Amino acid sequence: MKSHPVVEAEKDMKIPEVLPVVAVRDTTLYPFIIFPFSVGRETGVAAVEAALNGHRMLVMLGQRDQNVDTPKTTDLFEMGTVASVMRMIKLPDGRLRILVQGISRCRVEYFTQEDPFREAKIQLLQDREPHEDKLKIEALMRNVKSQLERSASLGKPVSSEVLVMANGMEQAGRLADLVASNIEIKSQEGQAILDELDVFKRLTAVNEILTKEVALLEMQAQIHSQARGEMDRSQRDFYLRQQLKIIQSELGEGNEVQDDINNYRTKIKDLELPEDAREEIEKQLRRMENMSPDTAETGLIRTYLDWMTELPWGKYSEDHLELKRAKRYLDKEHYGLEEIKERILEFLSVRQLNPSLKTPILCFVGPPGVGKTSLGQSIAKALGRQFVRISLGGLRDEAEIRGHRKTYVGALPGRIIQGISQAGTMNPVFMLDEVDKIGQDFRGDPSAALLEVLDPEQNKSFRDHYLGVPFDLSHAMFILTANTLDTLQPAFRDRLEVIELGSYTLEEKVQIAMRHLVPKQTSEHGLNRKRIAFSKPVLQRVIGSYTREAGLRNLERLIAKVCRKVARKVAEGEDKLYRITKSNLTEYLGPIKIFPDFRLKRNQVGVVAGLAWTSVGGEVLFVEISRMPGKGNLVLTGQLGEVMQESAKLAMSLIRTRAEKYSIDTKTFSESDIHIHFPEGATPKDGPSAGITVATALLSCLTQREVRAEVAMTGELTLRGDVLPIGGLKEKVLAASRAQIKTVLFPKLNESDWQEIPEDIRKGLEFFAVSDIDEVFKVALV
């Protein structure tokens, strides 16, 4: 803003009462200030010409609204300044350029005319002398002067002439007008200062505006200084970096980034990259070339390129399709499991005829310890493929499958892509362990993310969030393991080819122990055949008297326990052959842990052995019923689920409807309370397959007929007495065999499942396929 000097008005200057009026905007003229104006409006030009033809004086009035081009009299302030026109220049476009000097404050009383220019009757105004203490006024004046100098030192365009005049100014009102005209203030603030006749208040207002302006200037200077410092530092760093490049170039070193880029380009030449992946890598390489090697972004790009170039794009291991070799290998590694071996050989057979066959998604379901995970390793060896295993137990974050966005700190690809990178080929055998134990929370549902991975129609273009480009998973052979399918989503289960692994029979456990477990544990404990020997009867005793499980883990632990005790004796100097026999088995394993259930030794009233299926195999589950005097209440205990409670009530209703047939007094139901109890009350129980078991126990209790010992049964019961099929028959029969039960009753509709039970187990059992509850009573009751 241009500085405006102050001049002294002539003392004997006479000011007419009626003067032409010029409306101004964005500017306020103060008394004793010289100011240049441009006048372009017709009324303004006419007013200036009238002033020049008369006393060369006019009134300068500010506009209330600065956006109005043609103001009315109501759009102008009442308070203005009488000014003398010192000089006038006509411009080519018709505008006038005038130089005016403020003379006095004035107030417009009324306008005498509107056309061709405004003319007004005015009243001259004088400053009111302050009533405050002179010291206070002097202090305020000094503060205004120092603030003005401070603003000039901070870059405010205030001329030295104005600073000299302000320092020499002794009148408070004149000082306020001088400062107000030389600092940038809004038109409304400028008009407020013009309106104020009280000198002290006027100077106070100017001081507040000036203080605020100085604070803004100081903040601006600070920001500029910081920006300047940052710029200087950047320039210094750039200069030093350029020097370092020159020095390293002279030494023949220091071009690591370009070397890395060249290495990446060499790597991608050897990879069969899809077009999307190649374009993304080239894009990141171009970004890396244009970045400083010291930025964090360069490190993120380098990590991303490492993952992209280390993935086995287009690399496949050759399948071994010889059926005899694969069968021989599978038989060597695993005993039994004929269904799974048959499925793998079928896959190899079709692969020979159709190499483009889509790889199946197998799911091994069975109790713990039956060899699901180790079977996956054997399949990989039989096929000649790499084996990758990841455990999904407890997984809750969807990003573990799909990966994190690469913009996040510490981002990585998902476990699927990490496993492919670890395998080094596009077609490994990929085992996803414990899929039934996947969880879900606010971070998403990992099993939903697996839907795309396990669908052969979709996984050919699987998109990991970190990679950001499609990746073909259709050549990988996915094998899943689970203890149960109950927790899996229907859409997830639909993509799987389920193969069930049942419990092992006694003979199977003995064979696996002789062929695999004993050689493995003796070798791991530093023993051999010359130091320890197990016989088949000993292993049978260990299996029957120390373990009761569907799998083999506890059996392997017991064999390891025997080997540890023998290893200690050998280490103490007793190096000889230790034969493990039935007579000395207790020296190594302690007393027998498992005995035949006493409830299976004699006939009892109201006690029946039922067969149940759990995720860890089959179990023998007893039902106990007693009758006592009461009012016909039915009491159920044993932590039962809703379905099992309904089965018990249904069995009670069935017996009541057939009371006359079995010679039961109907008063018994109204004068007695019936208590049905399932032992092992801490274990939750549910399911409909205990229906015929409860009905048999009820009839035995109410008729006082004993139930045959060593009889177990399973089957769902209807209200009409029909026996419906159940699941898990093989597991239940194996549990009955372990408990030395001799007779098994099961639904007639499950006869096809009976054929899946091993021949040696069926030979040792007497079985009855029943279709009606009366058949059950006929066999079970004495």
Exposure b/e, 25-51, CB count within 10 A at least 16 = b: eeebbbbbbbbebebeeebbbbbbbbb
Round to whole Å and give the CA distance between 34 and 165. Answer: 14
Exposure b/e, 119-132, CB count within 10 A at least 16 = b: bbebeebebeebee
Cα-based distances in Å from 177 to 28, 194, 239, 546? 10, 8, 51, 109
- Pair 707, 779: CB distance under 8 Å: no
Annotated catalytic residue: which of 156, 509, 685, 732? 732
689 is a catalytic site residue: yes
Residue 624, SS3 per DSSP: strand
Residue 552, SS3 per DSSP: coil
Single-letter residue type at 508: E
520 is a catalytic site residue: no
Annotated catalytic residue: which of 151, 689, 700, 737? 689
- Pair 434, 393: CB distance under 8 Å: yes
Round to whole Å and give the CA distance between 470 and 313. Answer: 11
- Pair 769, 754: CB distance under 8 Å: yes
Round to whole Å and give the CA distance between 10 and 12. Answer: 6
The DSSP letter of residue 647 is H
Q: What residues contact 60, with CB distance under 8 A and at least 6 apart?
A: 22, 24, 29, 37, 80, 81, 82, 83, 100, 102
Annotated binding site for ATP: 366-373
Cα 730 off chain centre by? 42
Establish whether the linkage from the previous residue to 92 is cis, with ω within 30° of 0.
no
Backbone φ, ψ for residue 352 (5° rounding): -65, -40
Residue 620, SS3 per DSSP: strand
End-to-end CA distance of the chain: 119
Select from 56, 23, 36, 28 the least CA-distant residue to 96.
36
Tokens 């000395």 belong to which residue? 584
Annotated binding site: 366-373
**Three-state secondary structure string covering 279-342:** HHHHHHHHHHHCCCCCCHHHHHHHHHHHHHHHCCCCCCCCCCCCHHHHHHHHHHHCCCCHHHHH
Backbone φ, ψ for residue 532 (5° rounding): -145, 145
Annotated catalytic residues are: 689, 732
